[in-house]
Amino acid sequence: MSVAWRKASRSNTQGDECVEVANLGGHVGMRDSKAPEAGHLVLTPEVFRQLVNCLKQDDRDF
């Protein structure tokens, strides 16, 4: 299965602090664009939404 990774819209525009996301067929993949070979996280859509909401609120207790 080919996975289409895309840079998150809120990533650093300089390109040195980028998070990439991918639709993994019912889950969301996240990885560091500088080190894609290091692997990726697999999150449920609900956990991904919770993470994004916490980041938007600068809630570091996620």
Per-residue pLDDT tens digits for 10-57 = 666 665 678 899 999 999 999 998 899 999 999 999 999 999 898 888
Question: Residue for token digits 């996301």?
Answer: 21
Q: Provide DSSP, 4-62.
A: --EE-TTS-TTSSS-EEEEE-SSSEEEEETT-GGG--EEE-HHHHHHHHHHHHTT-TT-
pLDDT of residue 10: 65
pLDDT grade, residue 7 (50/70/90)?
confident
* pLDDT recorded at residue 6: 92
Predicted pLDDT at 2: 85
Domain ranges (residues) in the chain:
6-56
- Please report the pLDDT score of residue 30 as a whole number: 95
